[in-house]
Structure 1
Amino acid sequence: MSPAARRAVDGPRPSQLWKPVLALALAVLLGMTGYTSWAYWQDTAEVRTGSFTAGGLDLQLDTGGAVGLGTEYPKTSIAADDLLPGETLAHSLTVHNVSSAAATYGATVQRGSTWGYDGSSITFRLFAGSPDTSDTSYPRQQTCSGSPLGAQTFVPASATSVIGTPRALAPGGSEALCVLVGLDAASADVNQGAQGTLTLVLTATQAVG
């Protein structure tokens, strides 16, 4: 039998069969490397929220006094006529936390824009309590119930703290204070007929934790 006839009977050799298969696989592989990413399906969902409105911290005095931030409250009832040496007069003041945040507050006192006394005359003290104003005859010795919030001081020329430890106020809470003002028993003759005003500043700070 001739070699050509033998090849026809035996068929193609295995190495010859692999050549077209490898060529096809190489073509597919080269075709795949032409893409940088697959086109997966995608979707987005957008959320639009309501409005976020900032709250505030507002310390109000008595019934609606000092409404708003940094507002002055003219409480002219904290006053005295014909104050004599050794007398003390008590006055009420209520502090309200009208915000939704817990707060602490402190207070300072100093001489007002009108001041005719010498440096060691008018005394000041703040209490957590209420005033007893029943004593109306000379020498008037009115008092405050409750605990003193700081030491008695002569009203200074510059702001001085009159609350030793900041006071806590819950949201919507309030505290009754008593302001005790007097003329020192050792006040000099030069103070006869003198006049003066006081500036009491209460400052609230948001409580954290």
Structure 2
Amino acid sequence: MSDTLQATRRDATGSRASRKLRAEGIVPAVLYGHKEEPQSLGLQAKELRKALAHKAKVIELAGDASGQAVVQAIQWDTFHRHLLHIDLLRVSKGEKVHVTVPLEIKGDAAGANEGGVVSMVVDHLELEAAPASIPEVLHIDVTELHLGGNLTAGQISDLPEGATLLTDESTVVITCVPPAGAPKLDGVAEEAGAPEVIGEKKEEDDE
């Protein structure tokens, strides 16, 4: 699902003009792609924040720019409170685009009950997908993840139909390891002397 935002053309560019727009509640934006000239636009900050809160990947533009666009990059202030700038990529119906989708853990790992700590090594995947099928998040099921195990990008089955995984399938995304300071799991018991077998006849000393 896409959110519709009203776009207004920006004639003035540069830091000073951008600061003035932000003071008026407008976020500077650039729309590019399809071998067309980039367009400098302004989007209402309130509506844009609402769309991003929905984790929207595709935005429907109206006003001085129309059509669908995919969010490519977002610039925030130091404290992640104010939107400074956003880059948008033009897309057409049926066209596949390169996107980054966040990962979200689903379920309770078996390894957690074995004393392990589940860690997310990679928090997103790169996909190529049609705009309409771009998911907000990708879920990775960890219920069968045991202590000492890991899950790779290629094991994620939550990909939308028709999407292509661009991240290397062998990339480790989730691990379950012993907590810090715990003894290492080597799986090898210390070598010990051979146990005495009950009833085994012992060699008699020579008389």
Q: Judging by fraction of residues, say which structure has more strand.
A: 2
Q: Shorter-normalised TM-score: what interval?
A: under 0.3
Which structure has the larger Rg? 1
Between 1 and 2, higher relative CO (CA 8 Å, sep ≥ 6) is seen in 1
Q: TM-score, normalised by structure 1?
A: 0.21
